[in-house]
Amino acid sequence: MTDNQIIIECAKLDGWIEEYPNLPQKPIHYRKEFPDRYRIVDDVRNLPNYLTSRDAIMPLVIKWCDRVERKAKFLDILKSILEIPLGAFLHETFALVTASPRQLCEALLRATGRWKD
């Protein structure tokens, strides 16, 4: 996947919606609803950069890993990305701290079935 594709897929998991305006000269934009307002950005470059910012990707990982089976699947995939044998005991905090934001994105997208090879 390209960097932009990864950012867009993570943004969709985070609640951002792709919108296609009816006017041909208008670009695709992304909208996210918050409890008291909404935010629109007109370019993927203005979405949170999940690939380089732990501040952007970690809340998304925490939100998605709300159930034990989801968390286990995510951590198994993260361990394989970090090249740690699946049978090896690894405290989840160590895996989450040592993984780069890019590795966290890949693990999350693979766990949700959104990763495209």
Q: Domain for residue 43, yes or no?
A: yes
pLDDT digits (tens, 9 = 90+) for 23-76: 565 566 777 776 666 677 777 888 899 999 999 999 999 999 999 999 999 988
Tell me 7's DSSP state: H
Are 109 and 10 in contact by the 8 Å Cβ rule? The answer is yes
Helix 54-64 / helix 101-112 crossing angle, nearest 10 deg = 30
Q: Domain for residue 117, yes or no?
A: no
pTM of the model: 0.83
- Side chain identity at 38, as an amino acid letter? Y
Number of separate domains in the chain: 1
Are 56 and 7 in contact by the 8 Å Cβ rule? The answer is no
- Side chain identity at 41, as an amino acid letter? V
State the residue range of the domain holding 10.
3-112
pLDDT digits (tens, 9 = 90+) for 85-112: 666 666 777 788 889 999 999 999 999 9
Predicted pLDDT at 40:
74
Q: Domain for residue 57, yes or no?
A: yes
